[in-house]
């Protein structure tokens, strides 16, 4: 998975000096304040597709089901199977938020309630 999907690729890494105007990164365009599990799952799907030999998008590509892949990642991150896994996932999400938004911006991961997200409502 790549934080570059949210940061905006190579332009997010290379500074062109003070005063140089750049376009907003993807996270800013989407008005993201924190990296949510569903964003990580989406990035994982995009990275898998980019690394595959598929020439066009399909929900099921040969024997790989992208929808199941996405939902499995979401389920793993949003519904941990134990308190130990919950702690690991909290640390993982904190790491993602620090990578994307910077250490100063994120001291603690505070998830949004999944039920309030439009995708969560549509799955019910």
Tokens read off for 53: 């030999």
**Which residue, 112, 111, 94, is CA-closest to 103?**
94
What pLDDT is attached to residue 100?
82
pLDDT over 70, % of the chain: 61
C-alpha dist (Å) from residue 1 to 16, 50, 67, 84, 112: 26, 11, 17, 23, 21
pTM of the model: 0.62
**Distance, first Cα to last Cα, the chain:** 28
pLDDT for the residue numbered 121: 52
Residue 113 has pLDDT above 70, yes or no: no
Inform me whether the pLDDT recorded for 120 exceeds 90: no
Q: Give pLDDT tens digits for 42-98.
A: 999 999 999 998 888 889 888 899 999 999 999 999 999 999 999 999 999 988 888
The mean of the pLDDT values for the chain is 76
For the four alpha carbons of 5, 74, 63 and 124, in that order, the dihedral sign comes to negative
Question: What pLDDT is stored for residue 8 in this prediction?
Answer: 52
The tokens for 14 are 């290379």
């Amino acid at each position: 998975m790549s934080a570059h999907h949210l940061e905006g690729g190579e332009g997010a890494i290379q500074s062109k000096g003070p005063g140089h105007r750049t376009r907003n990164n993807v996270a800013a365009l989407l008005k993201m304040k924190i990296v949510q599990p569903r964003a990580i799952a989406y990035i994982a799907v995009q990275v898998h597709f980019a690394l595959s030999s598929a020439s066009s998008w399909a929900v099921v590509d040969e024997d790989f089901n992208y929808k199941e892949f996405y939902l499995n990642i979401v389920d793993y991150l949003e519904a941990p199977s134990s308190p130990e896994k919950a702690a690991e996932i909290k640390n993982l999400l904190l790491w993602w938020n620090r990578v994307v938004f910077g250490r100063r911006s994120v001291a603690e991961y505070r998830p949004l309630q999944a039920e309030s997200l439009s995708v969560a409502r549509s799955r019910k």
